Structure 1
């Protein structure tokens, strides 16, 4: 029997629909556990119809309870984030499905090989960022010293900042940014999203208060229409009706203000640890 065809990382050559189909219907084999993850995250291979890929499987049974999110909902929120990402056309989240697995229902997401050497975050000994960089804020670096934390002034990050504002991402850390050799950038770990309360916590504040790009306005306008149609239907069952309504409200607020959001001051604006 011939060796299975291996699906490359998302965004290289594998179509989203093909990768999602493989994730949804393939046989999952657990190869190991990612111990750094706060919830159970299992590294797996998935094989179906002579094709194979690596993936991450996060069973609902391995989710730790959170005070501000209903128990057993994080996996579905990851899938909802993927659906919204797909609706933008930006493809910022790897293919993600909700399916049964060796440890019960869970989220299954295509593994992304990070092969690019892209400097997206940095600490600098300066009061203002250099051209090509955006300031996040001051960070303690020890012995009473501080440094300026900055992120790249990168269109891919800017789109991700918009997506995070739409889905109300409460945990955009630097380690969740995955650049690839083909120039794509992906965001992962979207379990704490779509809360009805404002919980946006991110390292991508560099554009706070700046006007949205014309591209972003066009994307958000299409997204808003989709939330009342096909996208809203796909989100039903993944998040609550109230959370879908809150997503509509966030898109309306972005379009109404015409600018990137600023920290509310009612919730820590930067996740900890930041990376």
Structure 2
């Protein structure tokens, strides 16, 4: 993550996800570890808007670093129901996994030391990358995939600091608590492709999502979101498939979050 955790505890090197056959822990194994492992708080991410803890998680012989955001530490918002941000983060992971994009690190909803909340695998980033410049790139397909993903989940807060480029070339996205609103709230720093035609790869992923939304994915989201929010997600995917284009900024909502980083 981009923020430095405060605390005395030291963890061994975080487990990395296997990306394109690389060494590390698989997404399924990470979900098992996060769900069943023993969670211990090692520090707190001080720059986060809501209570966010840097933790270690251990299950059998496996261990990893992770982020824990308890529902009790969520700051009330005027436009999202209180106590729902953790479930929205998990819903974003479910969409990410079903699309095949693997944008969101493995994320689960579980009981923790401060009550129920979301737990997400910690990702080490490439510190040499200038995020302010990186987020404006137009030549990186990965950022374009994230832009489409944000349109699907109606992300109201895609800041540059929520993009996590790793030293193996992968880019993750985090902080998806303000998502899945039934109102159009898309705010992002990734408007480079506004109005452009979607790539064939994006259309294929959206087609898979639409099928999954009428099946297993829809069932998983129904346990995390309201029925209206799930229907609205289907509608957003339908709209993207129908227009075949990236969305453009609307006039009723600020197009870019503040601060952008």
Counterparts of 2:131 and 2:69 in 1: how far apart (Å)? Answer: 27
Aligned to 1:26: 37
Residue 229 (structure 2) pairs with residue 218 (structure 1): no
Give the match for residue 108 of structure 2: 97
Mapped to 2, the partners of 1:19 and 1:39 lie a distance apart of 24
- Give matches, 1:122-201, under 5 Å: 122=133, 150-201=136-187
Q: Give the SS at the match of 1:105.
A: strand
Q: Which has the larger radius of gyration?
A: 1
Task: Tell me, yes or no, if the aligned pair for 1:7 and 1:51 is still in contact at 8 Å.
Answer: no
Cα drift, residue 35 of structure 1: 0.8
Distance of 2:30 and 2:207 partners within structure 1:
28
Out of 59, 75, 82, the residue aligned to residue 70 of structure 2 is 59
For 2:144, what is the secondary structure of its paired residue?
A: helix
Question: Shift of the alpha carbon at 1:151?
Answer: 3.4
**Matched pairs, number:** 247
User: Which ranges of structure 1 fall in alignment gaps of 5 or more residues?
Assistant: 123-132, 135-149
Local SS of the residue matching 2:109? strand
State how far apart, in whole Å, the 1-side matches of 2:184 and 2:213 are.
19
Q: Which of the numbers 72, 78, 83 marks the counterpart of 2:83?
A: 72
Aligned 8 A contact 1:7 1:19 in 2: no
Q: Does 1:243 align with 2:229?
A: yes
d(CA) in 1 for partners of 2:116, 2:228: 24
The counterpart of 1:259, out of the listed 229, 239, 245, is 245
- Hey, which bits of structure 1, 4+ residues long, moved more than 4 A? 4-7
Q: Distance in 2 between matches of 1:214 and 1:80?
A: 25
Per the normalisation by structure 2, the TM-score is 0.91
SS of corresponding position for 1:268: coil
Give 1:182 shift: 1.1
Distance (whole Å) between structure 2 residues aligned to residue 70 and residue 209 of structure 1: 31
The equivalent of 1:228 in structure 2 is 214
Classify the secondary structure of the residue corresponding to 1:57: strand
> 1:47 and 2:65 equivalent?
no
Q: Residue 31 and residue 201 in structure 1: after superposition, are their counterparts in 2 closer, same or farther (change >3 A)?
A: same
- The answer as to 2:237 corresponding to 1:271 is no
- Displacement after TM superposition at 1:119 (Å): 4.2
Contact 1:56–1:110 under 8 Å retained in 2: yes
In structure 1, the partner of 2:16 is: 9
The answer to whether the 8 Å contact 1:95/1:110 transfers is yes
1:202 is paired with a residue whose SS is coil
Once the two structures are TM-superposed, the CA of residue 155 in structure 1 deviates from its matched residue by: 0.4
* Bigger proportion of residues as strand: 1
Q: State the shift of 1:6 in Å.
A: 6.6
Structure 1 CA distance, aligned partners of 2:91 and 2:139? 27
Aligned-partner Cα distance in 2 for 1:109–1:76: 12
CA RMSD in angstroms, aligned pairs only: 1.7
- Structure 2, gaps ≥5 residues long: 1-10
* TM-score of the two chains, using structure 1 as the length reference: 0.86
Q: Does the C-alpha gap of structure 1 residues 6 and 18 become closer, same or farther in structure 2, counting only changes over 3 Å? A: farther
